[in-house]
Structure 1
């Protein structure tokens, strides 16, 4: 029974995406913060539990990145739309993920499905994206002062998003097929 919990947490994160989007678009940024923060924390929790309980599964390996991408892409699109984060950053985050997913799909169609093991840079990028979105929601939702941290995280996310995207592209080129 314990082996099912990590996948259930991942599914809950995926199910939190529409509610998070709805809350952001309806200007309930304070509530969106709590839901997004819980979903963001669940990203670390499900993986940790799966490793701790030796409950890693092919389903979890597939669902976890889907839930991550759905949460982050949808949140960044909405935060850009609501002018909580810069439009260009939302476009950058979405573009990187579309190129990666498209590249993986293309490689699979070509009979060269890539091994999906995120790099440390990509993991740092995901953490930075979660922290930035959570901080942006908290700042806008609760009227908190920014103190420059938001601007710093915007730069960090822009850099890690770009570098991790380029790293995936270089990895695909080394394999002999561009994404």
Structure 2
């Protein structure tokens, strides 16, 4: 036992006490849902590789794995309350990367019309540019590069429209059916694929326009909701 129970803590102890509280506020990102989402991110390039190199069975298997884990990670996160901020970012990112790779790879192999690939990718590029724009104009001053990438400062919310949700499901169905076609050559999927391609083209254009004309798609948050976080950061 120390003979100086009331002695002030040493410099190392003092620094450690200051660090520990801040560490305790960090969320645990190493959860099962996040690992499953990360595995989808890793699998996406291999799906494209398999399609480009005519490994159709592997491509279909990896696509099925991505779909199953997409459903599973969300269910696990909700069931055991394992939602994280990182998860809300990388989950849609994994879906979008997979969709982009599938679109490019299938179009390159001639399984998907180039005009449809241009519509799908064009919509995504347009939404990405819009997101950057709305983030900038809605960011409370001072507008700096570091504050732009500080997502603890909310400025605008983009809410998926109803047609956008249907469009995502139809796009995935089209990609899945297109991936199945070479694996089961005995099935004549030419007509269903042709019909689905025009449907997806229509819903893709419609969903892109819905973000422009819908009043509820983009919500600019009032600066009063941001100031408390800024002030809290200043006090730390």
Q: TM-score under structure 2 normalisation?
A: 0.67
The change in CA–CA distance for 1:87 and 1:115 in structure 2 (over 3 A counts) is same
Q: What residue in structure 1 maps to residue 199 of structure 2?
A: 156
Q: CA deviation at 1:140?
A: 2.1
Q: What residue in structure 1 maps to residue 6 of structure 2?
A: none
Structure of greater Rg: 2
The change in CA–CA distance for 1:55 and 1:174 in structure 2 (over 3 A counts) is closer
Q: What residue in structure 2 maps to residue 108 of structure 1?
A: 135
From 101, 120, 126, the equivalent of 2:168 is 126
Runs (5+) with no aligned partner, structure 1: none
Q: What residue in structure 2 maps to residue 4 of structure 1?
A: 31
Aligned-pair Cα RMSD in Å: 2.4
Point out the structure with the larger helix share.
Answer: 1
The change in CA–CA distance for 1:138 and 1:123 in structure 2 (over 3 A counts) is same
> Once structures 1 and 2 are overlaid, which stretch shifts more, 27-36 or 163-172?
163-172
Q: CA deviation at 1:158?
A: 1.3
What is the rounded CA distance, in whole Å, between the counterparts of 2:115 and 2:129 in structure 1? Answer: 20
From 132, 141, 146, the equivalent of 2:183 is 141
Cα contact 2:41–2:98 (8 A) shared by 1: yes
Q: What residue in structure 2 maps to residue 49 of structure 1?
A: 76
Q: What residue in structure 2 maps to residue 16 of structure 1?
A: 43
What is the rounded CA distance, in whole Å, between the counterparts of 1:114 and 1:68 in structure 2? Answer: 22
Runs (5+) with no aligned partner, structure 2: 1-27, 140-154, 221-236
The change in CA–CA distance for 1:174 and 1:48 in structure 2 (over 3 A counts) is closer
Cα contact 1:30–1:142 (8 A) shared by 2: no
Q: TM-score under structure 1 normalisation?
A: 0.87
Q: What residue in structure 2 maps to residue 84 of structure 1?
A: 111
Q: Which has the higher contact order (CA 8 A, sep 6+)?
A: 1
How many residue pairs get matched?
176
